[in-house]
Structure 1
Amino acid sequence: MNIKKINDDVVSRLKNDDREAFKYLYDEYWFLLFNQAYKRLPNEEIVKGLIQDLFADIWQNRSKLVIQTSIVAYLKQALKYKIFNYIKAQIVREKYIAKIAGNNHLPNSNQTEQQINYLELQKAISHCIASLPLQPQRVYLLKHEQDMSYLEIADHLQISVSTVEKHMIKALKIIRQQIKGIYRE
């Protein structure tokens, strides 16, 4: 059974309140998501909480769930946004606490600024990816979010390896142009 059919089946079952589909999703991807998040935010309790929030959001919004890529790519992207929002909230809290304490200088402000810049760049890249034409977008996501080789992508999409390469070149060119445009503004 191919990945798209499995994705569609799980999403369809979730929309029909199938708890077994939700359990499958949770059991299948929890550890992968934990490892991804822990690399970005090395605090086990916070990471576990963010993943719980992610799955709670999926269950609460299951009737409106639309996944156009693979489930794993969707989950990874959703978790990236959870991490981004958590870090932004932490920065606001730190600034607020420093202001109340009468200390306008934060000890880790350079590191915090670098984190914000990194997360803003990630968000900009995500928007660029979302705006790509369908085939280059699919190729890019399969390569960068599912770590597939060009040969695996070609097999998955039933196209030639050279076509995969052309789509990847097109995707990267568009992303570079859009990122340059963002940082010139």
Structure 2
Amino acid sequence: MQHIDYSQYSLNDLFILVKGSDKDAFDCLYRFTFKGLYELAYRKLQDEDVAKEIVQDLFVDLWDKREQKHIHEVEKYLYQVVRFKVIDVYRRRRVSFAELDGMVDTLVDYTNQADTPFYTKQLKQYVNNWIETLPKKRKKIFQLRYHEDKSTGEISKILDISPKTVQNQLLTTANALRGLLQKYLLLILLFFFGS
């Protein structure tokens, strides 16, 4: 068996080999990128174990789903995934939006492009997690209006509350959601255009 010198391959070329189940190319991709990905996660989290876990999970997922993934800019993709995993860690730790706002500037270390399906999935998860945090009545009103397409009058009758209460709750929820989406959009824009 001939030994291949992977050091001359670009990360994108290595990923093409990885898609073909080349374990040596995968190991090389890991070695070439682990340090930078780990350092990014560690700088954001200040936790060695979690930073290592993020990068290792990223590579396990990359290997397991290598045939389904269509990645054109491997380095940008890897750094983007680490950023989202860092945000997920903060979300699990129930970091407040004030703290998340403080992180925005530090999250931008590497300009990259997004894979649209990845962002769409993250946005849906982000919004669904937010909906779960709403007070019970506000959550029910939101679901009736936007998931079941009920009118203000119908919601009022279903929940036995005044139409004005429904309108106020919807307005409060819409304003909060708008703020949430603005923060998410700001993160995305910073990822795209940050320096």
TM-score, normalised on structure 2?
0.48
Alignment-derived partner of residue 52 in structure 1:
56
- Larger fraction in helix: 1
1:85 is matched with which residue? Answer: 88
Q: In the alignment, residue 123 of structure 1 is paired with which amino acid?
A: I
* Separation in 1, partners of 2:69, 2:97: 38
Contact 1:38 1:47 survives alignment (8 Å): yes
Between the aligned partners of 1:74 and 1:113, the Cα distance in structure 2 is 22
Give the C-alpha shift of residue 123 in structure 1.
Answer: 2.9
Is residue 187 of structure 2 the alignment partner of residue 122 of structure 1? yes
The equivalent residue for 1:65 is 69
* Distance of 1:49 and 1:110 partners within structure 2: 24
Change (3 A) 1:87 1:14: same
State the aligned residue count: 109
Identity %: 27
CA gap of 1:47–1:25, structure 2 versus 1, over 3 A, is: same
Offset, 1:111:
5.3
Identify the match of residue 77 of structure 2 among 74, 77, 80: 74
**RMSD over aligned Cα, in angstroms?**
2.7
Indicate conservation of the 8 Å contact 1:91/1:112, yes or no.
Answer: no
Q: Which sections of structure 1, spanning at least 5 residues, go unmatched? A: 93-108, 130-139, 145-185
SS at match of 2:10: helix
Residue 99 of structure 2 corresponds to residue 112 of structure 1: yes
Aligned to 1:102: none
* Displacement of 1:114: 3.2
What letter corresponds to residue 27 of structure 2 in structure 1? Answer: K
